[in-house]
Amino acid sequence: MSPSPWNRLVWPRTPHGPGLPALSTGSARAAGPVLAAAASRPLAWEWQEGPSAWEKCVCPGPPRAGPAARLLLTCPADRLPRRKSKAKPNGKKPAAEEKKLYLEPEYTKSRISDFEFKELVVLPREIDLNEWLASNTTTFFHHVNLQYSTVSEFCTGEACQTMAVGNTQYYWYDERGKKVKCTAPQYVDFVMSSVQKLVTDEDVFPTKYGREFPSSFEALVKRICRHLFHVLAHIYSAHFKETLALELHPHLNTLYVHFILFAREFSLLDPKETAVMDDLTQALCRGGAGAGTGGGAGAQNHVKER
């Protein structure tokens, strides 16, 4: 009997005597899954004639000679009981991480301007910090809203059932602080509506001479930037193909670089918040200014909620 492609199984050694019944295919099937796998095949027995010599034969039961006998079963490997699979309960193996199209060098080098944005984000002399933050935050809001509108018809409740970027899922929190699970278009609508309400509020974003900014203004700007970052990250992760088809990726890259460098200049975004897009930030900013620090490698290993 050739050992390949068959597996050789040894039944435990049994004492042989006149009263030992022959082990037929039926009793082999009842003996367990290993024997049942080979029950339809002839049973090979090995018996001991002397102290060290073992003889082999193929028969339906143990030979009636020799002091001891043991059963050898041969069966195809694909009929043997297998170890439990490490696949998911639904039987599907975890899908390999999809290649990020927006990281391709031919796309990361696309810009609508080669201007050095590091110089553009610096606070000019004799300009109030809050005025500078208010002006830029309002501008970023309008540009992000405009950029999202170009792909909004593709961002539907069916296509984007959650507001997710990679393994990070975002939830909206209402005015009472209650977490709301929503689709991506719903989340973006919440963001744009809330930001629109803030930037048009004279008590928060004053436009008239002599009006003071509220003491919580910087905290509000940070919250706005965090939500705008979520929208930009979602466009890259879920709708970059559509952006590419519309040939608007140079505009998206330019907006992202300007926004990230501005936020880093005034510490408006927590590095842990932007870690999910650190690979893009490093690619667009050429590994220099604006590159994320810490947390980038581990951000993709498990699902996060924010």
Binding residues for Zn(2+): 155, 160, 234, 239
Report yes or no: 300 and 278 within 8 Å, Cβ to Cβ: no
Dihedrals φ, ψ of 297, to 5°? -70, -40
Element (H, E) at 35: helix 33-37
Dihedrals φ, ψ of 251, to 5°? -65, -45
Cα–Cα dist 201/125, whole Å: 27
Exposed (0-12), middle (13-18) or buried (19+): which is 152, by Cβ within 10 Å?
Answer: middle
| Binding-site residue set | 155, 160, 234, 239
Element (H, E) at 10: strand 6-10
Is residue 81 helix, strand or coil?
coil
Q: How far is CA 239 from CA 170, 191, 234, 242, 245, in A?
A: 17, 18, 7, 5, 10
Is residue 272 helix, strand or coil?
helix
| In the block, residue with structure tokens 């897009």 | 277
Other Cβ atoms closer than 10 A to 159: 12
Tokens (6 digits) for 72: 């050898």
User: N- to C-terminal Cα distance for the chain?
Assistant: 62
Closest CA to 195 of 256, 250, 134, 255: 134
| In the block, residue with structure tokens 């909206």 | 172
Other Cβ atoms closer than 10 A to 38: 24
